Amino acid sequence: MTLPIQDPALAAEGLGVPPRRHGFLRSVLRERKAAVIGLAIIVFFILLSVIAPYISPYSATAQTCAVYAPPSSRHWLGCDDGGIDMLSELMQGGRISLVVAFAATFVAMVIGGGVGILTGYFGRWIDTGLMRVTDYLLVIPDLVFAVVIADLWGPSLFHVIIVIGILEWTSTARIIRAQVMSLKERVYVKRAQAIGSGHARIITRHILPQVGPLLMANTVLTIAIAIYLETALAFLGLEDPTVTTWGTILEHAFERTAISSGAWWAIVPAGFVIAIVIVGCFLLGQAIEDALNPRLKVAHLSVRRWRIRPLAGRGPDAI
């Protein structure tokens, strides 16, 4: 079915052709190089985390070289304050960091998706009530809030996951809500209502598949935020002291005089792996969002490729 888009309003929302559930990600990957790079980065780090225990050169907990030994042919990234091989520690830390980020994101997406669908679909007092909560959480400084809760509950991996999860669902909820509010007015939802479908059926069969891609984009973007927050909490000493994560690597380096010892190798690699993973999430998430909501493809100033802005409603490229 390749009908041209008729309604310019729908085309502007980027919702003219409802994305099919499985083909969507594939088409994003085919059309956008950034998405491929982002996905490749994420998959690479997941795989690395899975096989880390088998390929890491040394133990991530036992001393295998001198304190703050510089990088050498035997220890590629040098050693930390306890004489632990940095490369092995980074691999081990990545496992925990990613698990924390994925778990926290899962919590955030369940809350955010749930709240977004409920408020958007039912409206009225549910909307008013839950949106007030959302507005509140949007304005409070999340790291400060996380620090307070994490401190009150005590340092543990589980608490960090829950704290990040209950803080980072708000923007997702708002985006999903807006989408559901527009979906609710679609003709096919009205028809489903007319033939007597219940709320549960409409939500699971007609609404959920439509917000799926949007939820996917938000999941990926939230993973980036979760990783960032985890490293920040760890840096402030609120992470479980018995585990190694990318955040605690930075914390230990800072607390245990890596800087005055000149041991840059205890700091630099951890920052780069964190940044690369976050960039990967950002590229993939942004690419999915752009595919859902194409922005203007022409600027009146573009010096080299000057062209007249296309009129609305002509062809699939129309804005």
Partner 1 sequence: MRGADYLVKRGFFALVTIYVAITINFFLFRVLPGNAVTDLSRVPHASPALRHALLTEFGLDKPKWEQYLIYLKNLAHGNMGISFANQQPVSHLLLADLKNTIPMVTVGTVAAIILGVFTGVLSAWRRASASDHLSTNTAIFFYAFPTQWLGLMLLILFAGILPAGGMSDPFLFTAEPFWQHLGDIAKHMFLPAATLMLTAFGSYTLVVRSSMLETLGEDYVLTARAKGLPTRRIVWRHAVRNALLPLVTLIALELGFIVGGALLVEVIFSWPGIGLAMYSAIGQRDYPMLQGGFLILTVSVIMLNFVADLLYFRLDPRIST
| Binding stretches for partner 1 (CB under 8 A) | 132, 135-136, 138-145, 147-149, 151-154, 224, 228, 231-232, 235-238, 247, 250, 253-254, 259, 264, 267-268, 270-271, 274-276, 278-279, 282-283, 295-296, 298-303, 305, 309
- Shortest Å distance, C-beta 22 to partner 1: 29
Least separation in angstroms between CB 254 and partner 1: 6
Q: How far is the CB of 239 from partner 1 (least distance, A)?
A: 12
The CA-based angle 151-154-157, given to 5 degrees, is: 110
Least distance to partner 1, CB of residue 310, Å: 10
Shortest spacing between CB 110 and partner 1, in angstroms: 21
- Residue 114: how many other CB atoms lie within 10 Å: 15
Residue nearer to partner 1 on the CB measure, 85 or 168: 168
Shortest distance, CB of residue 100 to partner 1, whole angstroms?
14
Extended strands (E) in the chain: none
Q: Which is nearer to partner 1, 116 or 285 (CB)?
A: 285
Euclidean distance between CA atoms 232 and 96, whole angstroms:
15
Pick 76 or 306: Cβ nearer partner 1? 306
Helix axes 86-122, 246-255, angle to 10 degrees: 120
CB of 169 to partner 1, least distance (A): 15
Closer to partner 1 by Cβ: residue 204 or 257: 257
H-only helix segments in 256-314: 268-292
Spatial separation of the C-alpha atoms in residues 120 and 213, rounded to whole Å = 17
Question: How many other CB atoms are found less than 10 A from the CB of residue 209?
Answer: 13
Phi, psi of 261 (to 5 degrees): -85, -5
3-state secondary structure 29-97: HHHCHHHHHHHHHHHHHHHHHHHHHHHCCCCCCCCCCCCCCCCCCCCCCCECCCCCEHHHHHHHHHHHH
- Choose between 220 and 267: whose C-beta lies nearer to partner 1: 267
Helix (H, G, I), strand (E, B) or coil at 309: coil
Nearest to 230 by CA among 89, 94, 111: 94
| Closest distance of CB 45 from partner 1, Å | 13
For 140, half-sphere exposure in the C-beta direction (CA atoms, 13 angstrom radius) is: 17
Nearer to partner 1, 109 or 274 (CB): 274
Q: Which is nearer to partner 1, 9 or 140 (CB)?
A: 140
CB 179 within 8 A of CB 189: no
Give the position of tokens 């999941």.
219
